[in-house]
Chain A
Amino acid sequence: MAKRTTLNKAFLSGNEALARGAWEAGLSVACAYPGTPSTEIMEALATYKELDVQWSVNEKVAYEVVYGAAVGGVRSLFACKHVGLNVAMDPLMTSSYAGITAGFVIVVCDDPQMHSSQNEQDTRWVGIYAKLPVLEPASPAEAKDYVGEAFKISEKYDTPVIVRMTTRISHTKEDVKISKRVAVKPKPLVKDMRKYVMVPGNARLRHVYIEKRLEKLQTFAERTKLNKVEMNDTKLGFITSSVSYQYLKEAYPDASILKLGFLYPFCDDKIKAFCKDVKKVVVVEELDPFIENHIKELGIKKVKAKDSSFRCGELTPGVIKDAVEGKVKNVKPRPGRAPRLCAGCPHWATFSVLKKLDLFVAGDIGCYTLGALPPTSALHTCICMGAGVTFNEGLRRAHPNGKIVGVVGDSTFVHSGVTGLINAVYNKAKGIIFILDNSTTAMTGGQQHPATGWTIRNEPTKVLDLEQLCKACGADNVDVINPIGNVKKLEALVKKRMEEDALSVIISKDPCVLIKKKSK
C-alpha cells in the first residue's frame, strides 16, 4: 500500500484549510458574523495571532470593515454563509466597481440540502450580477490553495474575488499540506478619489472599467490551471465543479472531465473544445443550472444535464448516477431524530408561556426557531435575521388588535433586530418584543457578540447593555426576567403588557446551558 509522508500535514476541515491558506497568503484583516456552514473560518483565523480578526455585528458591517482594510492596503477576507451575503450585498455591489488596493477575498458557504439554513440560494449567480470572478474549490486541500490564488487574482485584476464553498467542502476534513506564511507588505494609504468615491461621474468610468475587467478575466479563465481537463475515455465526458467532481470520479472512473475551479467568467473556448473532443457531454452541478444555462447560451446542443427535480437538494454518491442519466429525483427521506431545544434550555420556559397564552409568535433565526417544532410548536414565522421584531409590526398592521408578539435572540437583536425596534418606536407600533437572551450566539456553537462583553479571542471589551439600548430606542417598557423558575411571573407580566397600549420589550435572560457546560 502506498504511504504518504505525514510531514507538514494537518487534518483540516475545508473551513480550517481555507483559513490556513489565507494566513499563509499574508492575510491581515478578517471579519465575519457566525453562520453555518461558514462559522469555523473565522474561528480558525482567530487562532493565528498575527491576524486582526473580529466577530462583527452583522455581515454588512463585517464586509465594510474588511473592504475598508483592503482599500487601505492590506490583504483582507470576509466570510459568510449564503444568506449572510444578502445582508452584505449593498457594499458588495459597489465594491466591485471601486476595486481594491490590496487583495480582497469574499468567502461564501452555500448550504445545498439546507442542513442548517432557511433557503437554498446559489451564490454563483452573484458572479454574474456583481461582475466578480467566482472560484469554486472541490475539496479542503483545494480550498487552501484556491484562497491564495484568489488573493493574486484580486490584486492582478483590481477586483474582489468570490470563493464559493458548500457544506460538503466546508465540513469535510482532509489531510492537507501546510506551509509557512508569506510576508506581504502593507501598501500606503492613497487618496484616489476617482477610484474610491463612487459618485455618478466616477462610477460611470468604473463601470466601463469593470466590463473590460470581465473580458480580461475571461481570457484568464481560458489559461488558468484552475480549469482542468482530465482526458480519459472520450465516449463520455463531464463538465462539473465542487463536490460533484468527487462523486463523478468514483461513479465514472473512466470518464473524461472538465473540472471548473475558476467558474466565472466562463472559459468558453475550453468548454467548446472539450465538447468537441468528447462524444457525450453531461453537465453535473448542484442546485441551479448555472453552468448548464451558460453552455446552452453557447449553442452547444449535444450537452445533457440533470433533470430539473435535482435543482432541489444536494447531490450524493447515492443519487449521482440518476442525476447523470437524466432521471427524475427519487429520494426517500431517511428517518431520523429531529433536533430540539436542549434539556435545561431557558427557551423552554419562555415558549411554555407563549404557548399557554396562545399567542401568534413572529420568530427569528436561532436556536429558538426550534420552538416551532413539537412539543412546543409555539413559533409561527421564520424568514430572516431580525424579522422577529419587524414581523411583529407588520402582522399588527394587518391585525391591529391581534394577539401577536415577536421573539429574537440576543445576538440576532444586535445583528439586525435593533433597527426594527427603532422603526417600531418611530412608527408607533405596539406589542411585545421578546429578546431571548441566552448570552451567546448559540445555534452556531456559542460565539461572542457585543452584548456578551467578550471578543472573538475571549478578551474583555465594553458590554452592550441591551436593557439600556432598548430604553434608548424608546420602548415604553423594558422588563428583564429570568424565565427559569419564574414561569408564573413571566405569564403575569406578558398578560399585563399585552393589555397596555404600549411597545414593550421583555428580555428573557438566562445563559445557554451549553456555554455553562463549556465554562465548567
Chain B
Amino acid sequence: MAKQTDYNVTFGGIGGQGIIKASELVGWAAMYDGFHVKKSEVHGMSQRGGSVESHVRFGKKIYSPLIGPGQADFLLCFQGDEHHRLEPFLKPEGVDLVDYLKPATDMIENPRYLNTALVGVLSVFLPIKDASWQKALKTVFKPSILKGNQKVFKQAQKLVK
C-alpha cells in the first residue's frame, strides 16, 4: 500500500459535548505540524442539543472540506447512540475509536474533559509531533483550564495499549 498522505477524522456527538473544540485542537495541531488542514462543521444549532458533526482533514493538499461516506480514517464518537449515524463515514480499514468512549469517560473527573480525553486517544494514532499537540493545547484552551487539559490529554494517551 502506498504511504498514507492524507488523514480524515470524523467527530460526532451532540451539542454541548465540546466536539467543535476537539476538532479545533486537532486542526491547530496538524497546522503546527506543517500540514494543509481543512475542518468543517455546521454552527448555529450546535448548542441546542442537536446532533453535531465535525470533519477534520489534513495532508499535503486538501480540497474538500467534507469527508464523504466511506472516506474517514478515524471516527471519534462522543455519544454511543450517535454511533450508528456516524459509522457510514468510516473506510473499511478505518479506525473506529468508539471503544475508547467508556474508558475515557471513566477516566475523567469532569465530563467537560471528554473532548480532550478523546483527542488524547486519537493523538496516539496520528503522525503529529507532541510539540505540535502541546502548542495546540495552549492555543485552544485559556490559561485557567490549560493545565487540567494537558493532564487529561497525557493520561488518555495511556489508554491506548
Give A contacts to B, CB under 8 Å: 1-6, 9, 11, 36-37, 115-116, 139, 167-168, 171-175, 243, 245-247, 249-250, 316-318, 334-342, 367, 370, 443-445, 514
Contact = CB atoms under 8 A, between A and B. Distances in A.
**Chain B, interface size: which category?**
35 or more
Contacts of B63: 245-247, 249-250
A175 B31 CA distance: 6
A172 B65 contact: yes
A360 B38 CA distance: 45
Interface string B31-43: 1111111111111
Given A175-B37, A340-B50, 18 more contacts: A1-B127, A6-B34, A11-B37, A37-B43, A116-B43, A116-B45, A171-B41, A172-B39, A173-B24, A173-B27, A173-B40, A174-B36, A174-B39, A175-B31, A243-B64, A250-B63, A340-B48, A342-B47
B69 A318 contact: yes
B44 interface: yes
B40 A171 contact: yes
20 contacts: A1-B5, A1-B127, A3-B33, A9-B31, A11-B24, A11-B37, A36-B44, A171-B40, A172-B40, A173-B27, A173-B37, A173-B39, A173-B40, A174-B36, A175-B36, A175-B37, A245-B63, A317-B69, A318-B69, A445-B47
A11 B48 contact: no
A337 B37 contact: no
Contacts, number: 117
Interface in B70-119: 71, 82, 85
B153 interface: no
A339 B50 contact: yes
B68 A318 contact: yes
B67 interface: yes
Contacts of B71: 317
Interface of B is mostly: loop
Given A36-B43, A116-B42, A317 B68 contact: yes
Given A4-B35, A11-B27, A173-B39, A514 B65 contact: no
B135 to A, nearest CB: 9
A443 B40 contact: no
A313 B68 CA distance: 16
A335 B36 CA distance: 31
The 7 closest A-B pairs by CB, nearest first: A317-B68, A3-B34, A339-B50, A116-B44, A336-B51, A339-B48, A172-B65
Contacts of A168: 40, 65-66
B37 A247 contact: no
Contact of B48 (A9, A173, A249, A370): A370
Given A173-B37, A339-B48, A317 B66 contact: yes
A35 to B, nearest CB: 10
A507 to B, nearest CB: 23
Interface string B1-28: 0010100000000110000000010011
B49 interface: yes
Contact of A337 (B14, B28, B41, B64): B14
B49 A342 contact: yes
A370 B14 CA distance: 17
A246 B64 contact: yes
